[in-house]
Amino acid sequence: MSADLGHLILVLALVSAVYATFASLYGGYTKNSAMVYSGQRAVIAVFIFVTLAVVGVEINLLKNDFNFHYVASYSSIALPLFYKLTTIWAGQAGSLLFWAWILTIYSMLVLYFYRKDYNHEMPYVMGILMSVIIFFAAMVVFAANPFELLAHAPADGRGLNPLLQHPAMAIHPPILYLGYVGFAVPFAFGLGALMSHRLDNRWVKTVRRWTVVPWLFLIIGIMLGGKWAYEELGWGGYWAWDPVENAAFMPWLTGTAFLHSIMIQEKKDILKVWNMVLIILTFTLSIFGTFLTRSGVVSSVHSFTASSIGPLFFAYVCLVLIVSLGIMFFNFDQLKSKTRIESLVSRESSFLINNVIFVGLCFAVFWGTVFPVISEAVRGIKISVGPPWFNTVNTPIFLALLLLTGVGPLIAWRKSSTHYLKRIFLKPTIIGIVTAVVLVAFGITKPYAVISFSLCAFVTATIIAEFHRGARARMKSNSEGYFLAMLHLLQRNKRRYGGYVVHFAVVLIFFGITGSAFDTDIKLNLKQGESREIGRFEIVYTGFESSRDDHNEVLAANVVLKVDGKNITTLHPSRHYYFVSEQPTTEVSVYYTFMEDFYIVLNNVDHEANSASFEVWVKPLVIWVWIGGLILTIGTLIALLPNTKETELRSVRKKQAAEEELVAS
**Nearer to other proteins among residue 27 and residue 408 (C-beta):** 408
Q: Alpha-carbon torsion 289, 294, 296, 297, what sign?
A: negative
Burial 271-300 (b: 16+ CB within 10 A, else e): bbebbbbbbbbbbbbbbbbbbbbbbbbbee
Does 72 bind other proteins (CB under 8 A)? Our answer is yes
Report the residue from 73, 286, 324, 552 that binds other proteins according to the rule CB under 8 A. 73
Residue (of 261, 139, 127, 244) closest to 194 by Cα position: 127
How far apart, in Å, do the first and last CA atoms of the chain sit? 48
In 3-state terms, what secondary structure has residue 130?
Answer: helix
In 3-state terms, what secondary structure has residue 532?
Answer: strand
Closest distance of CB 405 from other proteins, Å = 16
Distance between CA atoms of 552 and 584, rounded to whole angstroms? 9
Does 383 bind other proteins (CB under 8 A)? Our answer is yes
**Nearer to other proteins among residue 334 and residue 343 (C-beta):** 343
Q: Per-residue x/- marks for other proteins, 496-525, CB under 8 A? A: ---------------------------xxx
Strands 531-534 and 537-548: antiparallel
Closest distance of CB 300 from other proteins, Å = 7
Report the residue from 137, 257, 385, 424 that binds other proteins according to the rule CB under 8 A. 385
Does 396 bind other proteins (CB under 8 A)? Our answer is yes
DSSP assignment of 262-308: HHHHHHH---HHHHHHHHHHHHHHHHHHHHHHHH-TTT-SSS----T
Does 113 bind other proteins (CB under 8 A)? Our answer is no
Segment interacting with other proteins (CB under 8 A) among 56-64, 381-389, 496-504, 641-649 = 381-389
Residue (of 12, 97, 5) closest to 54 by Cα position: 97
Closest distance of CB 93 from other proteins, Å = 10
Does 74 bind other proteins (CB under 8 A)? Our answer is yes
Report the residue from 82, 330, 332, 367 that binds other proteins according to the rule CB under 8 A. 367
Distance between CA atoms of 85 and 64, rounded to whole angstroms? 11
Restricted to residues 162-221, the positions that interact with other proteins (CB under 8 A) are 163-164
Give backbone dihedrals phi and psi of 188, rounded to 5 degrees, phi first: -65, -35
Distance between CA atoms of 469 and 475, rounded to whole angstroms? 10
**Burial, 177: exposed, middle or buried (Cβ in 10 Å; 0-12, 13-18, 19+)?**
buried
Does 314 bind other proteins (CB under 8 A)? Our answer is no
Give backbone dihedrals phi and psi of 534, rounded to 5 degrees, phi first: -135, 105
Restricted to residues 468-497, the positions that interact with other proteins (CB under 8 A) are none
Alpha-carbon distance values, 1 to 64, 81, 541 (Å): 12, 18, 53
Closest distance of CB 521 from other proteins, Å = 9
Does 611 bind other proteins (CB under 8 A)? Our answer is yes
**Nearer to other proteins among residue 13 and residue 281 (C-beta):** 281
Distance between CA atoms of 298 and 572, rounded to whole angstroms? 36
User: Quick one: DSSP state of residue 149?
Assistant: B
Q: Per-residue x/- marks for other proteins, 279-308, CB under 8 A? A: --------------x--x--xxxxx-----
Does 337 bind other proteins (CB under 8 A)? Our answer is no
Alpha-carbon distance values, 284 to 315, 323, 419 (Å): 12, 11, 44
Closest distance of CB 555 from other proteins, Å = 13
Question: Cα angle at 454 between 448 and 457, to 5 degrees?
Answer: 140
Contacts of 245 (CB under 8 A, 6+ apart): 222, 225, 226, 239
Closest distance of CB 372 from other proteins, Å = 8
Query: CB of 395 within 8 A of CB of 513?
Result: no
Does 104 bind other proteins (CB under 8 A)? Our answer is no
Segment interacting with other proteins (CB under 8 A) among 156-164, 445-453, 480-488, 504-512 = 156-164
Restricted to residues 341-360, the positions that interact with other proteins (CB under 8 A) are 341-344, 349, 352-353, 356-357, 360
**Nearer to other proteins among residue 356 and residue 658 (C-beta):** 356
**Nearer to other proteins among residue 217 and residue 274 (C-beta):** 274
Neighbour count for residue 605 (Cβ, 10 Å): 20
Neighbour count for residue 606 (Cβ, 10 Å): 12
Residue (of 596, 526, 593, 513) closest to 558 by Cα position: 526
Closest distance of CB 451 from other proteins, Å = 15
Closest distance of CB 61 from other proteins, Å = 14
Segment interacting with other proteins (CB under 8 A) among 55-63, 266-274, 339-347, 545-553 = 339-347
Q: Per-residue x/- marks for other proteins, 211-250, CB under 8 A? A: ----------------------xxx------x-x------
Report the residue from 41, 158, 198, 205 that binds other proteins according to the rule CB under 8 A. 158
Segment interacting with other proteins (CB under 8 A) among 9-17, 391-399, 488-496, 545-553 = 391-399
Residues that bind other proteins (CB under 8 A): 69, 72-74, 90-92, 150, 158, 161, 163-164, 233-235, 242, 244, 293, 296, 299-303, 340-344, 349, 352-353, 356-357, 360, 364, 367, 372, 381-386, 388-389, 392-393, 396-397, 523-525, 582-586, 601, 603-604, 606, 609, 611-613, 615
